[in-house]
Each structure stands twice: as structure tokens, then as C-alpha cells.
Amino acid sequence: MANKSEPVFKSYQMDQLIMFPPDIGETIPEKHLVRVVNRFVERLDLSSIIRRYPGGGSSSYHPRMMLKVLLYAYADKVYSSRRIAKSVRENLNYIWIAGWNKPDFRTINRFRLSIKDEIGEIFYSMVEMLFGDGYIKLENYFLDGTKIEANANKYSFVWKKSVKKNKAKLIANVEELLKRIDEENERENEAYGDKDLEEMGEEAGIDSEKLKAKAKELNEKLKNKPNDKETKKALKKIEGDYLPRLTKYEEQEELLGERNSYSKTDTDAVFMRMKEDHMRNGQLKPGYNVQIGTENQFIVGFSVHQRPGDTGTFIPHMEEIKNGLPKMPENIIADAGYGSEENYDYVDRHDFGNYIKYNNFRIEDTKKFKEDLFRTENLTYDIESDAYGCPNGKELKYTHTKSFKTENGYLTERLIYECGDCNGCLLREQCHKGKANRTIQVSHRLNYYRRIAKENLKSEIGWELRRLRGVEPESVFGDIKWNAGFRRFLLRGLKNTILEWGLISIGHNLRKMSLRLSKSFFCFVNSISDMLRLKFLPSFA
């Protein structure tokens, strides 16, 4: 019998023959996240990925195993290929799902980059499974966006305005130089007709190709006149300064396209104002605008954009998810950042339920808003005379229409109404500060869509959807940014960031699936009417 004063320990031997049970899977619970990942990937059709592997040669790691490891890592909040490779060697769950394979970090990263064209197919296969298994109904689509910082230097910016300004100055210097060295009138008339070089520069435009041709011409001239100091000086200026700078500006303009800025270290990234600002001064940082649609806090659609504003991303996002979802959602719920005429028109044409706020929705029922009689929204409108009445009894009559296109090419109109005479009006100081008569811009079509949106949002269903919107995409972004610690892309380039966000979205959905499976039952939202009805979890076999 052991002495009571001596401690008792469990058996421990470093040289024991069996450190693990014969099947390490016995140590992993049935509803563990790694098993959820395993079952999901087993249901995927990976023929498009497998077809890329050439026949013969040395053996490769099976893409199904590699995809399991990659998706489990992202679901487990591990994003670095080196950390994933380390986990495959040391972590029991990774060892089990990898089947004792040990791919290194280069192999993992190469496989990750190789599936960038299939990430959408894999993601929407998951959404289809979620829909088929009853996790989502695709009734209500909660849309929101966030800005994620790019893997780029914060101070490596290139601005469109600066490029244009510097290029214009350079071209002016080039034109001045060309006018000095082209003094032979006969050659000018032969090359450019009756136009002088300044006219040629303005109409035809000076670019790098024309400047190269001019440098070649000067080189030929020097062969005949090797001691021409002025030509040598001009050629040195063109080849050593003007041509490299002009080529650089042209390359920058091509990279910019329709954007206002880009980063030198990730040329697809755009400088945007981020909420997560370490300097706390509204600093611009390179990043991407990520849009997601959620239901029951599952991500059911995503897109990545190079536009800082949410308004212009709505239609591209909806068009992108159209071919991926099993069916399009019935209702679209979004905040005021999406409430434009173009977006309302899209929702109307596609018969979606319009639950998109507009910029004045939150304040138009307040006392301050209603008492401001000079606001355009509070002016009285007479349909028959097509005129607005001001609080002083004067009329603002239609004068003309302004048309413009949005960044997506949507043509919209604003009707301009102007007061006949504001001189001597006692209420002028309250009405407007301008020297001219009061004018307002109105879109009757937009006002019509806003009335529909307001009616929907104020309904009982609309109130519930508005309440849910605050806990749908916002909670998902919070989980990804703070719980999962993903606030900056690791990969560079638009295609690679789409790939990375696709993996992040799949990983989030897998975690949600595992969480639901860990409970015997859960509260599942089928519709607003049975929002609190309990249903048993559908099997995910």
C-alpha cells in the first residue's frame, strides 16, 4: 500500500510502443469542425480541378486532400501557408484530415493559387448544399459591405489627378523642345501638311511611340551631322528624361483605368478610408470593398470591388450571384448606402421585394425634418401645373432637364425647377443663401421608388427585416474581422483577393454549420411569421 504522504501519478512512458490509438479518428468527436469539413469536401465534384493534373511523372498530393486541409485551416482561422504546413505536421485534427500526408508550405500555397478559377464554383456548391439541407431558404437577402485592407504599402499611392497633371506638364515641355529642333519648313510641310507642330500635338496627341520615332529621327540626323550639339542635347533630353517619364505616365494611366488611385505594391488595390484606422485621422489606405449577402448569418453571396462606395457595387454584385445561387432571393434588405434610383430600378425590374433604405429614411419622420418647410421634400407639388410651391406662396416652375450616367452606365435625369423671382422675399434667408433664384433638382422616378421602399420598410415585415439586418451581415463581418482575426488580405491582386475572400466565406459557413451541429436543436428562421419556431436541425450526412 502506497504511503499517503507520497503523490500518485498516472502511467507515463516516453518509449511506449503506441502513442495514439490505432485509428486517430477515434479521438475526434463526431460533430467536430474537421469532420464537417471532411463531409463537405467529400460531396464536392472536383473533376474540373483533377483534369488539370497531367498524367505520368511523379505522384501528386490528391486535390481532395489538399482542399480539405485548406478549407479546414480557413475554418480554423489559420491563413498562412507556413502555419498550415506546421499544423499538418503537429496538430492531430490536421494530421487526420490530411491522412498523414505532410505537404510543405510551397505546395499548399501553389494549390491555393491554382483553384482561383474554381473558388466561385466551390462556394456556390456549398450554398446549394445549405439550401438543400434547409439551413437557408433564400427568402431574405441581407446585403452589406466592408473595406478590407490590401497587402500593400500604405504610402505607395499613385493618384489619377497627379498623373494627368504631371503628364500634361511633360507634354508641354516636349512640344516646346520639338518646336525648337524642327526648324526646317519643307520637312514640316511634308510630315504635317499645313499644320505646325503645336497643332499636331494638340489634335493628334504626343505619346511615347511618337517620341520614340522622333528620337530615331534625331539619331539618323546625327549620323549625317555628328557635331550638331543642339541635336545631341535634344536627343539626350528625350531619351534620358522625357521618354522614360512619358512611358511611365502612360503605364500608370493604363493601370488606373476608371479608378482614381492605386498602390504600387498591389496595383489592383484602391485607396479608401477605413474604419480600422490605426492613425485615427481618417487616413486613406489601399484596400478592396467586399460585399456579402447573408441569411441566417450564412454567407450566401459575395463579391470584391475596386470602388470605395457601396452604391455602384449593388448591380455588379447581384449580377455576379445570379448564376451561382440555386434561386434568387425574394427580398433585398440593405442600408441607405444602396438607395439610389439605379438600384431601385434594378430591384423593380427583377421583381425583388424592395427593403432598401434611402438617405433620408431615418430622419424624415423627425420633428426637425418636418418643421423645415424649405426642404425640397416638404415643398408642395401640383401635378397639373408641374410646379412646386414655396412657403411664401411663390412657384418653382420646370425649366429644363439634366441627364447624366452613373459609373455603371445607367442614364438618369434630374428635372430642374426654378422660382420666377426671389427678390424682396422676406423668407429668402431661410430658403437659400445663393444670389440667384432658388432652384431645386427632382427625380420623380426616384421619389416613386422611395415611396415604395418606405411603405415596405414601415410594414410589420419591414420592421422585422430592419431589425434583423443589424444582426445579419454586421455579425458576420464582426465574426470574420474580430473573432477570426482577418482584417487584411494576405494575397495581392484582385483575382487573388477574390480567392482569399471565397476561402474566408466558406470557412465562416463551415464554422456556422459546425456550431449548429453541436446543438441538438436550434432556432431556425423560415420566415417572419415563424421566426421563433423551433425546428430540429437537418442532417448533414
Residue with cell 430622419: 363
Answer with the residue of higher pLDDT: 196 or 44: 44
Mean pLDDT of all residues in the chain?
85
Q: pLDDT digits over 118-129, tens only?
A: 999 999 999 999
CA nearest to 310, candidates 277, 349, 342, 348: 342
* Rounded distance between C-alpha atoms, residue 460 and residue 465, angstroms: 9
What pLDDT does 540 receive? 38
How far, in Å, CA of 169 to CA of 518, rounded? 66
Residue 539's pLDDT band, with cuts at 50, 70 and 90, is: very low
Task: Convert 106-125 to b/e letters by CB count within 10 Å (16 or more is b).
Answer: ebbbebbeebbebbbbbbbb
- The pLDDT assigned to 424 comes to 79
Give the SS3 label for residue 395: strand
End-to-end CA gap in the chain? 52
Is the Cβ–Cβ distance between 404 and 398 less than 8 Å? no
Q: Of the spans 4-18, 54-68, 106-120, 420-434, which averages the highest pLDDT?
A: 106-120
pLDDT, tens only, 281-336: 667 899 999 999 999 999 999 999 999 999 999 999 999 999 899 999 999 999 99
- State the pLDDT confidence band at 16, using cuts at 50, 70 and 90: low
| Full-model pTM | 0.83
**Which residue has 431556425 as its cell numbers?**
524
Average confidence (pLDDT) over 471-484: 93
Q: Please tell me which residue, 197 or 22, carries the higher pLDDT value.
A: 22
State how far the Cα of 386 lies from the Cα of 395, in Å rounded to an integer: 10
What is the structure's pLDDT at 183? Answer: 54
Check whether 13 has a pLDDT greater than 70.
Answer: no
The CA distance from 234 to 117, in Å, is 50
- Sign (positive or negative) of CA dihedral 30, 34, 38, 39: positive
Give the span between the Cα atoms of 485 and 185, in whole angstroms: 69
Strand partners, 402: 414
How far does Cα 112 stand from its chain's mean position? Answer: 20
Judge whether residue 488 has pLDDT over 60.
Answer: yes
